[in-house]
Structure 1
Amino acid sequence: MTPATDSPALPDARPALPDYVCPADGTRVAPSSLAWSCPACHGPLDLDFSPTPAPLGKLSGRVNSLWRYAECLPLPAPAISLGEGRTPLVGLAGNISAKLDFLMPTLSFKDRGAVVLAALARHLGPDRVIADSSGNAGTAVAAYCARAGLPCTVYVPAGTSPKKLAQIDAHGARLEVVDGDREATARAARAAADEPGTFYASHVHNPYFLHGTKTYVHELWEDLGGTLPDALVVPVGNGTLLLGAALAVRELHAAGLIARLPALYAVQSAAVAPLADAWRAGADDLVGETPQAPTFAEGIAIPRPLRARQILRAVRDLGGGFFTVTEDQIAAAQRDLAARGLYVESTGVACWAAVRDGALGDRTAVVPLCGAGAKTGPAGGDVGRSRERRGPVAPSTG
């Protein structure tokens, strides 16, 4: 595959990439493989990779992107970087702060994982890259494939935001609109992924994506002077941000760089909440079929997340829990954030909807604002139709 002319090739002397390993049965897969799932059980893969983060004092002067945490990333910094990461951390109210991950090159946190997937694809040199997405992940993969000079096809469900479709198309990716829901879209993409020479840039199956999203927590740790808040609150559909956060917390704790583990809280839309239902049942995996209804939080409306067992275990291990939020709460939280100067898409406001009324008491917490409101528009109508009274903005924390 010929790389883009403005992106010099990666150096030949690269450290060996880690093996894939199946978390369910231990099957190992070579790092050079284009296999996208475990050949034995067909489940998603992890990486045999246990890095040691650099201490705080060694980060000064490094590149101002997520690649400053080089020791914790499974491949070298690529020439295709767009400066992703290092998003601002600002106060919202009381002890709650927000990390503005919608201020990324493609306007969502998915850039953290997409750049790592695109760098891996460029290293492996496939004939084509495919992805499936409800919008943001597909946009990010399309952008970074364009940067890397890789042909890309993105499968999206019918009903995906026209603004997200326009963004994917603008990056030169081929769009395949599937007449069905998010699961039907994933099935179509997986069928195409089995074609020879295809790299499946799956933000669910491929663990490189999780090692990109974990930089969210490494940045928090650095911004807070080598500490983490009492609680991390993240939206959960397929769990890519939550599982990345859990990876980073474990890395920092194992290295002795944090003394205590933050509690990890997951937020789902009450309309599609299979993980929250399993949590309330005390189960280790999904329990039966989850009722589904339309939701503004389309990005986390995943009825059967493939990494459900890992998500539930991570929340349990870190002493957290689950919140669900209604459509009214989502719409109100979006209006509230807009009144504070932050226009965030409806999926991205779910965590603020969960905690803004004091659900965490006096504990310190950070919520991610994951996607820009310009991608989808307001939830349930005009953002300004009924502005709510709110308290003063908390001082900036970064």
Structure 2
Amino acid sequence: MTTYLCPVDGVRAAVDSAPWCCPECGSPWDLEFTAAPVPLKSLGQRVNSLWRYEEALPLPTKAVSLGEGRTPLVPMTPTVCAKLDFLMPTLSFKDRGAVMLAELALRLGPERVHRVVADSSGNAGTAVAAYCARAGLSCTVYVPESTSPKKTEQIRAHGARLKRVQGDREATARAARAAADEEGTFYASHVYNPYFLHGTKTYVYELWEDLGGSLPEAIAVPVGNGTLLLGASLAINELHAHGLIADRPQLIAVQAEAVSPLAAAFHAGEDDLGTEFLATLKPPAPTLAEGIAIPRPPRARQILRAVRESGGTFLTVTEDRIRVAQMELASRGLFVESTGVACWAAVGEWTDRTVAVPLCGAGAKTGLAI
């Protein structure tokens, strides 16, 4: 099994005995793992799920798989294509990372893991609940009180215990982290556990395969905690290091204007979301894009660095634009939840470069944005 590494102070810890964050500074872990080249020509003979990229994954087994991954890539305009990641077993892209966390928890064994705890605004929680059900693991999911009833219904349907938390997404995360410190608890955090990022990176491996061994000039990604963006960055770096792509695409990070601390920091030239800088921002406002309404993401420094190194940028979208974008996609046959339409809202009319956008969650999870 590979080793956790703290990107801030260099602390290392064995995966099978590590706390959920760096014990020295409290930062999320990275993973000391080197991917091998994925052979494009032989992929057609492999399992039709994200596990086909086995050389790039830190877990070689797939005991809890539900066939996740390999979602369709659909042209929307001459320059914009959309990846339909809402066509996953739990109807969101979070399945890519959740299957890794459930697989890891199962592999750690019952002597180490008695229950799984997660926190979420909805989609990550439903995904963790589903894959824990598949693995036969006890699961508790913490969500904000405002979470969509359809998502909480789905969490309960998978047999997970639901804990509603008064307050915002940050309050929910604090409650889950307190529970995560209990003996025998595995914190299936899509933010703190790097195995999740190695699941989300398969999004880019699929783009690369579907485009015949190339990538578009830009990849747009909705950003709250940044798990899809950081996974995309991992995959791009791996593919480039192995000589499997000649050029790295730009990463276009999209936030709701109502909650856009990373966009503000990026355009102000900040390297992180420091306390002094956050004090200069307007308080977060309610947004339809609940899945990316994160006022202080723990991996902020990594997200900002990844976007800058790619030559990309941050864009923001208004609530009115989110509403319009949802209806635009619905008129084309794609009913996507309000968070999932953010990238289409930002770059759907681009014509100056090729760009891929993820449609991350199904509209049935939240209904129409009103």
TM-score by length of 1: 0.90
Which residue number in structure 1 is paired with residue 167 of structure 2?
180
- Are positions 1:294 and 2:286 aligned together? yes
Instruction: Give the C-alpha shift of residue 70 in structure 1.
Output: 0.4
CA RMSD of aligned residues (A): 0.8
Mapping of residues 1-398 of structure 1, within 5 Å: 17-125=1-109, 126-286=113-273, 287-289=277-279, 290=281, 291-358=283-350, 361-380=351-370
What is the identity, as a one-letter code, of the residue corresponding to 1:32?
A: D
Deviation (angstroms), 1:67: 0.1
Paired with 1:18 and 1:356, the residues of 2 have a C-alpha distance of 40
Q: Displacement, 1:93?
A: 1.6
- How big is each residue's C-alpha offset from its partner over 1:76-117, in whole Å with a ceiling of 9 and x where there is no partner? 132210000000000112200000000000000000000000
Q: How many residues align?
A: 362
Aligned to 1:10: none
Residue by residue over 1:150-202, the C-alpha shift from the partner in whole angstroms, topping out at 9 and shown as x without a partner, is 00000000110000000000000000000111000000000000000000000
- Give 1:396's aligned residue: none
Unaligned runs of 5+ in 2: none
The 3-state SS of whatever aligns with 2:117 is: strand
Give ranges in structure 1 of 5+ residues lacking alignment: 1-16, 381-398
| Deviation (angstroms), 1:54 | 1.4
Q: Judge conservation of contact 1:55–1:257 (CA < 8 Å) in 2.
A: no
Separation (CA, whole Å) in 2 of partners of 1:278 and 1:206: 24
Q: CA deviation at 1:53?
A: 2.5
Q: Normalization by structure 2: what TM-score?
A: 0.97
- Cα separation, 2, equivalents of 1:58 and 1:250: 21
Quick one: distance in 2 between partners of 1:263 and 1:357?
17
Q: For residue 364 of structure 1, what is the amino acid of its counterpart?
A: T
| C-alpha distance in 1 between matches for 2:229 and 2:12 | 24
Provide Cα deviations, 1:262-281, integer angstroms capped at 9, x if missing partner.
01110000000000000110
The SS at the match of 2:340 is helix
SS at match of 1:176: strand
- Preserved CA contact (<8 Å) 1:34 1:198: no
Distance, in Å, in 2 between the alignment partners of 1:79 and 1:29 is: 25
Q: Displaced runs of 4+ in structure 1, greater than 2 A?
A: none
CA contact (8 A) 1:46 1:206 kept: yes
CA offset digits 1:197-245 (Å, max 9, x no partner):
0000000000000000000000000000000000000000000000000
